[in-house]
Each structure stands twice: as C-alpha cells, then as structure tokens.
Amino acid sequence: MIERFKKSRKVVEEVEKERERENLLKQEQRKLKEEDLMKLRARQKRQELKRKIDIVNKEKKDNELREEVRRREQILIDARYDMKVKSNFEKISFTKDVQSWLKEGYSTIKAAKKKLRLDHSPRVEERLAKLASKDFAFGKN
C-alpha cells in the first residue's frame, strides 16, 4: 500500500510539474505577445509620423515649385511686354522712315502712300504716338 501511495504521489508530482511548466509557458507566451504588440504599435506610430513628415515635405516642395512657376511666368510676361514695346517702336521708326522716303519722292506708288494714309491724314505722327502709348493685352489672340 505504501508503494501505491508512493506511485500516486509521483504521479501527482509529475502532474503538478507538468501544470507548472504549462503555466510558465503560457506566461512566457503572454509576455512575448505583449512585446510584439508594443513593437507593432511603436512601428505604426513611426510609420504615421513618417507619412506626416512626407506630406509636409511634399507640400513645401509643391509651394516652392508653385513660386518658381509664378516667378518664371512673370519673367515671361515682362519679356513679352518688352518685346511688344520694342516691336511697336520699331514699327513707328520704320513707318517714319518710309513716310519720309515717300515724301521725298523716292516712290510714286499711290498704293504705298494710301497704305500709310499720307494722302488722307496729315496727323501720322499723332497716330504713331498714340499707338506707342497704348497698353497691350497679352495672351488674348
């Protein structure tokens, strides 16, 4: 009978050891899961922060690009205006030269005189001055 008790005690001890081992394994598994969750949350926070930083950097880059485009557009507008003014002054100068050339009698073509309206209006200088002082609208063809 004592032997029977000894055997049953051994069995009970083994069962208790097995339960303890299972409990330790479960505790260790819980700890590992908690660590994994903490790492996952930290990673998600880093990713969110990185996305926010990327968005802010992209907005800065877009604003810089927009400003550069506006600056270049203004340069083009200024250049177009300068070219238009120069062109008008060249037209005026050419018209004056042709007018004086025609007045001196180097050409007898009546169509050229009519084109410049030399026969019809003595105020060519005034019309040329008005033409030079006009504001020009760009981009409206």
pLDDT for res 9: 86
The tens digit of pLDDT for each residue in 55-90 reads: 999 999 999 999 999 999 999 999 999 999 888 888
Tokens standing for 51? Answer: 């996305």
pLDDT for res 138: 45
Q: Are 118 and 100 in contact (CB under 8 A)?
A: no
pLDDT for res 99: 77
pTM comes to 0.46
CA atoms within 13 A on the CB side of 96: 12
How far is the C-alpha of 45 from the C-alpha of 116, rounded, in Å? Answer: 78
N- to C-terminal Cα separation, the chain: 118
pLDDT for res 135: 52
**Residue 92, exposed/middle/buried by CB under 10 A (0-12, 13-18, 19+)?**
middle
pLDDT for res 46: 97
Low-confidence ranges of the chain (pLDDT < 50): 119-120, 136-141
